[in-house]
Amino acid sequence: MNGMNVSSRVDDETRAPTAPTESAAVDLTVTPDANSPEAVLERLAARQGDMPPQLRRAATFLLENAAAISVSSMRQLADAAGVKPNTLVRMARAMGFEGFEDFRRPFQEQVRRGGGQSYTDRARWLQDLSHGGELDRLFGDMAAASMNGIEAVFSGTDRASVQAAAQQILRARATFVLGMGIANPLARNFAYLASMAVDTIQAIPQDGALPVDALARARAGDVLLAMTFKPYRREVVEAVEAAKAQGLEIIAMTDSPASPILVGARHGFLVPVDTPQFFTSTVALAAFLETLMAFVIAEAGEHVVASIDRFHQRRHALGIYMDATD
């Protein structure tokens, strides 16, 4: 669902949602992945009692320290378990794997997808890759994650949804763009680009204030464009709640249908943030914000062209840009 528009409300100009019927019920049954880390651990627990003592010792350690499987080397795991590295190989083969690397692969894949591990665990995993000479694979994984994220945004979000959000921004007396942490520079860049054409968009918070402080003078009908991704920032969620109470319209950008900022949003967009890195990827978010900005400019009318031209002429006149002769 990453990249999909999940607007929970409908503008007057768009069609009303169709009420669900009994015949439209959706089967949400999920078949467990036999190769998932959870399934591997379940099989290990089930077979542990039948293993020789040393293999059982290794299995017990891994069951009790599953988070270490993806981020520690085989030798490190063996030392911590009090067994020889070859014992881990034998244990993996007893479970039907070709070797220990085959056994641990599902755990490493989970880390690459960003699931089930802390930021610290994922940082350790990256260092483990470097020590193991696997940076070529990391390079490829980073490229694939970036391209997959952008593809998901543009394939899962339709033109009409982006256009409707852009029109909402242009109709508003004021639009506040909120991003904290890694999303803050992108929020400020969006407002900076907008300032070349329109003067109703501003990034918040400003001057060290809290996000809710910037909304003190907001009015009903204004827009709050808010961004937050797991783990969700409390100040962003609280600002969205305050904005809704004041009658602002919410444009939410987040990574999960369960995100708290999607509740009651006029427009909601899911943006993929998966990466092999230990932090949240902003590649797809940056691409989506640039696209939304392009729609804002396109929908604003011909007068914005003159405004952008004046903006750059003034900068040239002030000597901000270097000439070819400098």
DSSP string, 255-304: S-TT-GGGTT-SEEEE-----SSSS---HHHHHHHHHHHHHHHHHH-THH
**Residue that is last in its domain, among 99, 131, 163:** 131
Identify the DSSP state of 225.
E
Asked if the structure places residue 18 within a domain, the reply is no
H-helix or E-strand containing 107? helix 100-112
d(CA 202, CA 107) in angstroms, rounded, equals 43
Asked if the structure places residue 139 within a domain, the reply is no
Question: 169 and 289: one domain?
Answer: yes
Asked if the structure places residue 110 within a domain, the reply is yes
pLDDT in tens, 190-206: 999 888 878 899 999 98
Domain count of the fold of the chain:
2
Q: Write out the residue range of the structural domain in which residue 159 sits.
A: 147-317
Q: Which three-class secondary structure state does DSSP give residue 223? A: strand
- How is the beta sheet containing 267-270 ordered, strand by strand? 201-204, 175-179, 223-227, 249-254, 267-270
SS3 assignment for 141-210: HHHHHHHHHHHHHHHHCCHHHHHHHHHHHHHCCCEEEEECHHHHHHHHHHHHHHHCCCCCEEEECCCCCC
> What is the predicted pLDDT for the residue at 27?
33
Question: 116 and 154: one domain?
Answer: no
Question: 163 and 233: one domain?
Answer: yes
Question: 87 and 192: one domain?
Answer: no
Asked if the structure places residue 93 within a domain, the reply is yes
Q: What is the mean pLDDT of each run of 10 residues along the chain (326 residues)?
A: 50 36 33 70 88 92 86 87 94 92 86 63 68 74 87 90 96 96 94 86 86 91 96 95 97 94 95 86 96 91 67 72 67
Q: Which of 215, 217, 203 is nearest to 293 (CA)?
A: 203
Q: Are 94 and 51 in contact (CB under 8 A)?
A: yes
Question: 123 and 178: one domain?
Answer: no
- pTM reported for the whole predicted model: 0.65
- 92: CATH: 1.10.10.10
Question: 225 and 280: one domain?
Answer: yes
Question: 120 and 151: one domain?
Answer: no
> What is the predicted pLDDT for the residue at 16?
36
Question: 242 and 270: one domain?
Answer: yes
Question: 62 and 190: one domain?
Answer: no
> What is the predicted pLDDT for the residue at 221?
96
Question: 280 and 159: one domain?
Answer: yes
**Residue that is last in its domain, among 73, 105, 131:** 131
pLDDT in tens, 44-83: 988 888 899 999 999 999 988 887 888 788 898 999 999 9
Tokens 């900068």 belong to residue: 315
